[in-house]
Amino acid sequence: MAIFKGSGVAIVTPFDQNYNTDYDRFGKIIDYQVENKTDAIIVMGTTGEASTLNHEEHIAAIRYCVNRVNKRIPVVAGTGSNSTRTAVFLTQEAERAGADGALIVTPYYNKSTQKGLIDHYTHIAKHTDLPIIMYNVPSRTGVKLETGTIASLVKDVDNIVGVKDATGSLAHTARLMYDTQGDIDIYSGNDDVIVPVLSLGGKGVISVLANIAPEDTHNMCAEYFAGNVEKSAALQIKYMELINALFCEVNPIPVKKAMEFMGFCPGILRRPLSEMEPEHAERLKKAMIEVGLIKE
């Protein structure tokens, strides 16, 4: 059984003026997601700026999220690292914290071979009972999980169950479904192709958009699963300009600004991320107004 089906929000981490995690605002954001039909929360991923938090902060954020959600929906913890040993440590800590699964990105910068990736994921999986979703995002990491590698891991390692496919290639997704004969949980890692990935047998999305439009992102998946493909596609199309605006600068710069526009938290980012360019912020604001998320 899949860890979740539908819309999983890649949740932001709000910071205060001293760049510490703002747990008061974080709790309110978590509750907003649960109350607006989000199907799972993915904490400490790319959108959560995990790469700028130290281990203590990382684990504390996972623990807080698990406790705040309190079993209302699944919590998947981002626990990847370019060090296999560190990824094992973070995954075990997430398991101790009560997470329902782990999202583990491919090792970045090291540029492992496919053999090295198999060894990396297999070693982590042997040291946890959590179900693991691999995160394939070559545009950030410089390394790509090939479809044959993914198929091998899903077949040979019981608790490796799926992949967040952020390759941006539907041909890759289709080939992956072929190579695994559908025996895999695929989540779109790109908000602009949620419905196309669902059409290939995907289980849902791990979404940036869901931070600001949780109910409609949930509905995009739910309508598809209910057989209402036209309604699902209409939601995909409705949000295309906003999705493009959310990625006109590197994630999570725009979505943090969007959360600020909606009053959830200041758009504070940890270095080396920087404030959104004014012209891009205006584009984002206009796109949010067009779909009714904020007023002029």
* pLDDT digits 0-9 by tens, 114-171: 999 999 999 999 999 999 999 999 999 999 999 999 999 999 999 999 999 999 999 9
**Candidate list 5, 37, 144, 164, residue with the active-site label:** 164
Domain count, the chain: 1
pLDDT for the residue numbered 205: 98
What pLDDT, in 10s, does the model give residues 1-14?
799 999 999 999 99
DSSP tag of 15: B
Determine, yes or no, domain membership for 216. Answer: yes
Determine, yes or no, domain membership for 235. Answer: no
Query: What CA–CA distance (Å, rounded) separates 189 from 165?
Result: 5
Q: Is 115 a catalytic residue?
A: no
**Candidate list 5, 37, 135, 203, residue with the active-site label:** 135
pLDDT for the residue numbered 107: 96
pLDDT for the residue numbered 1: 77
Determine, yes or no, domain membership for 179. Answer: yes
Q: Kindly report the number of other CB atoms within 10 A of residue 130's CB atom.
A: 23
Residue 12 phi, psi dihedral angles, 5° rounding? -75, 160
Determine, yes or no, domain membership for 293. Answer: no
Determine, yes or no, domain membership for 159. Answer: yes
Q: Is 164 a catalytic residue?
A: yes
pLDDT for the residue numbered 278: 96
- State the chain's mean pLDDT as an integer: 97
Determine, yes or no, domain membership for 258. Answer: no
* Confidence class for position 232, pLDDT limits 50, 70, 90: very high
Determine, yes or no, domain membership for 118. Answer: yes
CATH number at residue 79: 3.20.20.70
In sequence order, which ranges of 142-263 are alpha helices (DSSP H)? 147-156, 170-180, 194-199, 214-225, 229-238, 240-246, 253-261
What pLDDT, in 10s, does the model give residues 12-66?
999 999 999 999 999 999 999 999 999 999 999 999 999 999 999 999 999 999 9
Mean pLDDT value of segment 78-107: 98
Note down the domain range covering 179.
Answer: 6-228
Determine, yes or no, domain membership for 281. Answer: no
